[in-house]
């Protein structure tokens, strides 16, 4: 089971990973965007972690929804509201739950990804965060369905997200700022797909230890 403490640990761990990768994400965004993805994610997740003490006794749905609303209200541009939507929708899917089964976690991720898709109107192959999140969700389900435990399944999800992130390099961007570059977007790794891979990697590091 995934407990609320694990969710708090996940968000706190991700804040640190974002801090450690802030310059890298900015560098990726400077190639095909406006060089703010690292700063945006850093500001957003600092605000999320600052809010956690007020919700750490609440259910997992409330924790995730609060994280999402905080991202929407503290981060401008495309990435913040899209990550905000991911966490709000994931939280709505597990409303009132103090613990999650692996399947419930996978369901929350699915709901988050569906929210990103709806809000950003992008689909797979358009060089966005969906290119790492979607294969990650698929791999998570496939692994759980084969009877693997949560840790093994999240490792598979992180590997799929990493591959999906790398697969954005040859893609032509057709959504977001990178699409303004047209053909010149080809040959660069998408910053949002990179931060999304890091989010799944963090989940693999924080969940499924027992």
Per-residue contact string for residues 137-176; x = within reach of ligand ADP by CB under 6 A: --------------------------------------xx
Q: What is d(CA 77, CA 27) in angstroms, rounded to the nearest whole number?
A: 17
Minimum CB separation of residue 182 from ligand ADP in Å reads 15
Interface with ligand ADP: number of residues (CB under 6 A): 24
Cβ–Cβ under 8 Å, residues 94 and 109: no
Is residue 192 involved in binding Mg ion (CB under 5 A)?
A: no
Is residue 120 involved in binding Mg ion (CB under 5 A)?
A: no
Binding range to Mg ion, per CB under 5 A, among 35-43, 128-136, 140-148, 153-161: 35-43
Minimum CB separation of residue 160 from ligand ADP in Å reads 17
Is residue 33 involved in binding ligand ADP (CB under 6 A)?
A: yes
Q: What is d(CA 26, CA 196) in angstroms, rounded to the nearest whole number?
A: 14
For the chain, state the CA radius of gyration.
Answer: 16
Binding range to ligand ADP, per CB under 6 A, among 84-92, 93-101, 114-122, 155-163: 114-122
Nearest to 40 by CA among 83, 86, 85, 88: 83
5, 20, 23, 34: residue in contact with Mg ion (rule CB under 5 A): 34
209 contact, one of Mg ion, ligand ADP, none, CB 5-8 Å limit per kind: none
Specify the pairing of strand 99-100 against strand 2-3: antiparallel
Binding range to ligand ADP, per CB under 6 A, among 48-56, 57-65, 72-80, 86-94: 72-80
Is residue 129 involved in binding ligand ADP (CB under 6 A)?
A: yes
Where does this chain bind Mg ion (CB under 5 A)? 29, 33-34, 36-37
Where does this chain bind ligand ADP (CB under 6 A)? 29, 33-34, 36-37, 40, 77-79, 82, 116, 120-122, 128-130, 175-177, 190-193
């Amino acid at each position: 089971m995934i407990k609320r403490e694990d969710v708090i640990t996940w968000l706190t761990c991700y804040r640190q990973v974002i801090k450690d990768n802030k310059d890298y994400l900015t560098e990726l965004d400077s190639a095909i965007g406006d060089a703010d993805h690292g700063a945006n994610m850093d500001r957003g997740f600092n605000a999320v972690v600052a809010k956690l003490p007020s919700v750490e006794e609440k259910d997992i749905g409330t924790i995730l929804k609060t994280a999402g609303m905080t991202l929407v209200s503290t981060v401008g541009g495309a990435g913040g509201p899209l990550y905000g939507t991911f966490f709000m929708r994931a939280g709505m899917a597990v409303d009132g739950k103090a613990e999650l089964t692996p399947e419930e976690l996978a369901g929350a991720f699915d709901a988050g990804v569906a929210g990103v898709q709806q809000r950003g109107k992008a689909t797979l192959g358009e060089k966005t965060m969906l290119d790492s999140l979607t294969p990650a969700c698929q791999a998570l389900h496939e692994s759980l369905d084969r009877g693997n435990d949560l840790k093994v399944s999240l490792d598979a999800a992180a590997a799929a997200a990493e591959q999906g992130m790398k697969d954005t390099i040859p893609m032509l961007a057709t959504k977001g700022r990178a699409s303004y570059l047209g053909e010149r977007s080809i040959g660069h790794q998408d910053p949002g797909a990179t931060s999304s891979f890091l989010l799944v990697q963090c989940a693999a590091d924080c969940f499924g230890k027992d």
